[in-house]
Structure 1
């Protein structure tokens, strides 16, 4: 009992240290005592260390857990810093978060198994991997429950004039401390439970999904040649959906096999379903690769597509390994288990490689898109500037050739006051005869709104000079009256805003329809260049090809 109480106090103290650290980080950064890069690296270090440490307490002593947490955190943070340097002095959102999480979580079962002298023992790795997942999930669930109790208690005590909990939550450090202590205490209790907490019920519930996923995947594959593929099949979202199916199927197959050496799944029906799912696994992975390749062939590489191809290669590796193991006959379960260990190490290696210059997605993308511009494609400067130093170098090279998009000096000027005449000269209007209505709306909105639209028009300007904005004026709601308009901005991901000017007052209206807020290009071009038609329904809607816009109230 004394050992259990001591562990609870120690892990609660560790959680308190973590909470205090994040509070100090927030305070120092807000006071400009840390740069954005320093704050990012400190936050990453604390996140990696404390989660790794708390996850391994239970099967390991606190000293060995701390040592393992340092061993996992140091290379992961170093690689994160290396990857962030692709963006120079800027610290911006980049595609290293997933790789960073893999580097701090996936090695943990191997560290625990190595501490027991059984680093490559699948049974130990399987048990510890799922135990770590349960400990971390239970810890964070306990944090949520604690906050629910605090909020409810505060409301109850507030009825009788006691506000001590409100004052605690209003302090800067209070919420951080409460969350940290609750996380440490929750994980301590789970670690204390040890063998009494069985993975069996969790795995049994997951196994129930194997026939469901098998049927859904089978129906999809049967319907695919009959129905054909839609235009959205060659999109990033379609590929990501297929890869998510691969990830789910891989997880379910792994849970079905459990950790019993070369023994197959005991129940015949579940064994057949597991084998069938394993044999089918390469097909959605291959379709995801095909979908990505269609996209890349049309629009070149982007960091998201490089990531998609990397994940697809990993999914295909799992699919081929699983299907091959089953097709080779008896002993298939043991072969899949051994493949899981090898592919987990491959995943760690790929995550590390992703964060090094060897697999620089921004450089690959910038070079690809620069080649497209040289070949005659129209791209905006914003695409290149999102890709850090590699994008800036590609942009400079294009300008040296006299082929680059307009310089960002236009955007700097967009911070100055924007007049109606300035924006009117820049923003196209459809139909062309609606220029007067456009100008009335531009004159009725405030200066800040005109600046935002001005920046949107310039930010996504194409190499041929076309701006990335458009105002469509139409009588969308006949009974409303006034000047009604939809403003579109962005060639790649089109944003829309609805407006009505009536009696000198501008009111925002929701916009409904298809082909908006979409990562697929085409909406802005369709309305700017295509044939439009105002189609009557319960309210009028504007159509241009497959795209539809309508205002609502």
Structure 2
């Protein structure tokens, strides 16, 4: 007879051994996929990582949900979680593929997998349901008996189990390396050799992780107690955060909102604060009525934090709206807008629950249960290509360029190339070959040559190397016009940079220049630096040679101003073997002891 999932297991050694073996096999399979298929371009970007995530996420989900006598249900739930995570790669590709910054598609896919698994775990608990536990029969009835304590409890238990399992696997690997070194002391190197094999390491880590899940799940009451203790400890932070947010909001009438828009980080800061506030509110509310805090201070703090969500989300929404109005849509701003919408729904729901009649703790728990369904569905939707933020943002930016809201010179071609995914890259290719505007064609064509997202785009280089450079540049021994390539070289970080005065010694026709870069006046403690730059085959090289900084640079700059700057050929002695120079430069023959050697 199957043991009811709502009661903890009294020990199931078989599950521990099965999960250890399964963990080793799945980890080995993932390693082989990465080794054998990851080198094939047809598999590398999507199919190989997708298959790896199907096995990895599915295996972890199986280890978290498998109960005695409920194998079919566990396998089905694990397949659903694994398919959701794997689908993210099949739809979106590898993280960072043609897209700079956090990969929110992958985040949403993993979130949907995690929340779906939690709902399956709560369904499996049943809490009084009479439908069969070994199949999906009566799914509608099971959804009707979902209880917040089960959902919230599994969410926290899964996080604790995964963290403890990862720590145990790391400990197993560390012990293996220690034993390998101990055996090596007596000239037994077999374990060292095994640990050099990635296949053996993967199987060892997988076995350790699987065994940890089995062992810890056999001690469910300990995990439940640890979860409750964690909540009890965290809830004492609610008054601290409530007072801090109250002081912040109370200061706004006196400081004004203008400083918020100058930082550029208002939206993520407000959303992070709102997330932390929501987290601490639920620490006070607890899983069930018996877990609720009886402290008036903690209850009042939780209510205040729940109500503070509205103004914080409002500030984030206004800040994000300003950025969109000024610079148009981008994938990052669309993601921020999505997070703001979700946060707004949560803030309104929390305010309604808190401001209602007595018993708002219970209403808040019911609200959280509904939010879990919302987040699981939204995460699944956003992990698919049905809502392609890259495509939407690219179309909006091209429309702004076409209708003249942004000039060709001010358009951010580099962002489209690196931050808008494949649609952005396709748009740059199209602009470079088919735009009717010559400026757009030239700037888009230059953008296609960029290989590093931190390189200046052609439009940025033109602005920085124009009047902005002239205003802070002194040319010696006499002011002369500078060609565009030298100007573009000077605004790099290892020459004049972006800010601060700059001294350049350059004579037209010479293949080198000496640059003295002075720090911005606002940089306390910063010192000038001197560097040498040169040309290679008539083109200014990206390389530079550091010469001096600080007081030495000041003294060198004074000599540079006198015009005594020249490059001279030198003679050196060095050993050659087989026509190749070997070793360091040797002293010149006949050097007087105590005097410096020739370079």
TM-score normalised over the length of structure 2: 0.68
Q: Any conservation in 1 of the 2:99–2:421 contact (CA below 8 Å)? A: no
Q: Which one of 157, 177, 186 corresponds to residue 131 of structure 1? A: 157
Match of 1:8 in 2: 16
Match of 1:99 among 108, 116, 120: 108
Could you say what secondary structure the match of 1:277 adopts?
helix
TM alignment of 1:132-171, pairs within 5 A: 132-158=158-184, 161-171=187-197
- Aligned counterpart, 1:112: 121
Check the 8 A contact 2:474/2:502 in 1, yes or no: no
- State whether residues 56 and 132 of structure 1, in contact with CA within 8 Å, keep that contact through their aligned partners in structure 2: no
Q: Does 1:67 align with 2:76?
A: yes
CA gap 1:507/1:142 in 2 versus in 1, 3 angstroms: farther
Alignment match, 1:178 = 204
1:243 deviates by: 0.8
Tell me how far apart the structure 2 counterparts of residues 195 and 306 of structure 1 sit (CA, whole Å).
43
Moved more, 261-270 or 210-219: 261-270
Q: Secondary structure at the match of 1:329?
A: coil
> Which blocks of at least 5 consecutive residues in structure 1 are unaligned?
416-424, 443-449, 458-468, 488-497, 512-535, 541-553
Q: Is there any run of 5+ residues in structure 2 with no aligned partner, and where?
A: 1-8, 128-142, 452-460, 505-512, 520-528, 536-542, 558-599
Aligned residues: 469
Q: Check conservation: 1:57, 1:191, Cα contact below 8 A.
A: no
Q: Displacement of 1:345 after TM fit? A: 1.0
Partner residue, 1:192: 218
Deviates more, 1:382-391 or 1:67-76: 382-391
CA distance in 2, matches of 1:115, 1:154: 43
Q: Distance between the aligned counterparts of 2:68 and 2:473, measured in 1?
A: 72
Matched, 1:376 2:409: no
Counterpart of 2:34 (choices 14, 26, 31) is: 26
Please state which structure has a larger fraction of its residues in helix: 1
**1:165, CA displacement in angstroms?**
3.8
Separation (CA, whole Å) in 2 of partners of 1:108 and 1:436: 72
Q: Which protein is bigger by CA-based radius of gyration?
A: 2
Aligned 8 A contact 1:59 1:191 in 2:
no
* TM-score normalized by the length of structure 1: 0.73
User: SS of 2:46's equivalent?
Assistant: helix
After TM superposition, the structure 1 = structure 2 runs for residues 314-329 of structure 1, keeping only pairs within 5 Å, are 314-329=342-357
CA change 1:292–1:188 in 2 (3 A) is: same
What residue is the counterpart of 1:42 in the other structure? Answer: 51
* Equivalence map 1:239-250=2 (5 Å): 239-250=267-278
Structure 1 stretches of at least 4 aligned residues deviating more than 6 Å after TM superposition: 89-93, 411-415, 469-473, 502-505
Q: Residues 129 and 503 (structure 1 numbering): CA distance in 2 closer, same or farther, change over 3 Å?
A: closer
Task: Give the 5 Å matches for 1:260-409.
Answer: 260-261=288-289, 265-374=293-402, 375-377=405-407, 378-386=410-418, 387-392=420-425, 394-395=427-428, 396=430, 399-402=434-437, 404=440, 406=442, 409=445
How far residue 390 of structure 1 moved from its aligned partner, in angstroms, is 3.1
- Of 40, 60, 79, the residue aligned with 1:51 is 60
Q: What is the CA–CA distance in structure 1 between the aligned matches of 2:331 and 2:304, rounded to whole Å?
A: 34
RMSD between superposed Cα atoms in Å: 4.3
- 2:46 touches 2:94 (CA, 8 Å); kept in 1? no
Counterparts of 2:125 and 2:548, CA distance in 1 = 60
Distance apart, 1:372 and its partner CA: 2.6
CA distance in 1, matches of 2:159, 2:234: 14
Partner in structure 2 of residue 204 of structure 1:
232
